[in-house]
Amino acid sequence: MPKKNNPPRLESVRPGSPASAAGLRRGDALVSVNGKPVRDLLDFRFHSSDGSPACVFEREGRKVRVAIPDGDAEAFGLQFAPMRFRACGNKCVFCFVDQNPPGARPSLRFKDEDYRLSFLFGNYVTLTAVGEEDLERIAEQRLSPLYVSVHAADPEVRRRLLGLRKDDRLIEKIRFLGERGIEMHGQVVLCPGINDGSVFDETVAALAGFFPAFRSVAVVPVGLTRHRRLLPKLNPVTAGAAKALLDRISPMQRRFRTVTGESFVYAADEFYLLAGRPVPPASHYREYWQRDNGVGMVRSLLSDISRNRRRLPFSVPRRTRFRVVTGTLAAPVLESHVLPVLNRIRNASFSITAVRNRFFGDSVTVSGLLTGRDIAAGLRSGGPFDAALLPSNCLNSDGLFLDDWTPEKLSVRLARPVRILESFTDLRTAEAAS
């Protein structure tokens, strides 16, 4: 998958470091470790896992040989340039990237399709572009777990969904990896009328044949924004479709639990909220395999506030009106289950702001896809408040909202403090610091 002749290069060499003393410079390429060619930083990590690896760097034909103690490049004084990742060549009919509004930042327009991102960060990968050499590398270097976008086991349906010209032999690849002990988790983006019904049954059955190597399957509703001009027409997941899906997987889950002790196939929280049904208990989700995929987030939140209610602050130093920001879908759950607990805190009052998504459209209802502008608009229209509380999933790894706003910018625009919470128990720390 990675280009073979594109080894990692040094972005910087710390002055006065052992690396600088060895003659290494910015731009030098790491071409081998312990005699093994290096394609990327994963190769470096793998080949330098034991001892002090012998590394060969190259600059305009000149080679510099160094041993990096314990393989600790940073301590040695090296900073590598970020890895370049493979872009996706599929034409998925439901691709969310294709549904971005005009003018979205470049990073939102990049479609990644790289098994290394799946291993490193839990990104979902179709495995379409993964060849024999890639499979061998995944097995050899134990790049596990991987998160696989399956969508359908039936080759023809998968071809239609992913826009493929031919069968990409997904099931063969899963079998190869499973036999070599690679753990996998899969997802099915449910597109009503295409991969639901018997097609979905076949998909779950095919993947269950590889349990426990294939550890879990998440089914998530297709996300449709208001920016779908010239894109294929797709049916949304309605309340009726959500109920049908939950009714379909319930007996599957019971059978799997009887045989394996695990539910194996899990519905995203959106299905339960759309259907107006309670989310399952914490025991249903086992290790919360796919929490970041929206599977079990609600239960995790409810369990967290129930388990840790005694860790919430008894009071806050001054009277404060807090507004809790969320998407429109989860707002009723927070209203009924979370606010009663929070409003026991003395000197504090809590209310919910369910933010309407103008960036993507009203059909997008989750907090993780809210922009700073939309949050600001929602908070301004909801009455007076003293501080805003936002879930951490509103921000990316760089601390930015989808429109490149920062929490600091949002705070300035609102003239109010904005606090990002991993858990409501963070309120104790936030108030102690205020």
* Integer-rounded Cα radius of gyration of the chain: 24
Whether residue 396 contacts residue 365, with contact meaning beta carbons closer than 8 Å, is answered with no
Q: Is the pTM of this model over 0.85?
A: yes
Domain segments of the chain: what residues?
A: 10-80, 97-294, 308-433
pLDDT given for residue 5 in this prediction? 59
Give the rounded distance of the alpha carbon of 292 from its chain centre: 5
Q: Does domain 308-433 have CATH number 1.20.1050?
A: no
Which whole-number Å values give the CA distances from 201 to 12, 150, 162, in the listed order?
52, 13, 19
State how far the Cα of 6 lies from the Cα of 12, in Å rounded to an integer. 18
SS3 track for the chain: CCCCCCCCEEEEECCCCHHHHCCCCCCCEEEEECCEECCCHHHHHHHCCCCCCEEEEEECCEEEEEECHHHCHHHHCEEECCCCCCECCCCCCCCCHHHCCCCCCHHHHCCECCHHHHHHHCCEECCCCCCHHHHHHHHHCCCCCEEEECCCCCHHHHHHHHCCCCCCCHHHHHHHHHHCCCCEEEEEEECCCCCCHHHHHHHHHHHHCCCCCEEEEEEEECCCCCCCCCCCCCCCCCHHHHHHHHHHHHHHHHHHHHHHCCCCEEECHHHHHHHCCCCCCHHHHCCCCCHHHCCCHHHHHHHHHHHCHHHCCCEEEEEEEEEEEEECCCHHHHHHHHHHHHCCCEEEEEEEEEECCCCCCCCCCCHHHCCHHHHHHHHHCCCCCCEEEEEHHHCCCCCCCCCCCCHHHHHHHHCCCEEEECCCCHHHHHHHHC
CATH architecture of 10-80: Roll (2.30)
State how far the Cα of 345 lies from the Cα of 300, in Å rounded to an integer. 21
Which mean pLDDT values do the consecutive 10-residue runs of the chain (434 residues) have?
72 96 96 94 90 92 93 94 92 92 78 94 95 96 97 97 95 98 98 97 97 97 92 95 97 95 96 95 93 93 89 89 94 93 94 95 92 95 93 89 93 96 76 45
State how far the Cα of 217 lies from the Cα of 283, in Å rounded to an integer. 17
Residue bearing tokens 């993507």: 360
State how far the Cα of 313 lies from the Cα of 42, in Å rounded to an integer. 44
pLDDT given for residue 285 in this prediction? 94
Q: Does domain 97-294 have CATH number 3.80.30.10?
A: yes
State how far the Cα of 134 lies from the Cα of 238, in Å rounded to an integer. 39
State how far the Cα of 135 lies from the Cα of 155, in Å rounded to an integer. 20
* 216, 222, 225, 226: CA torsion to nearest 10: 180
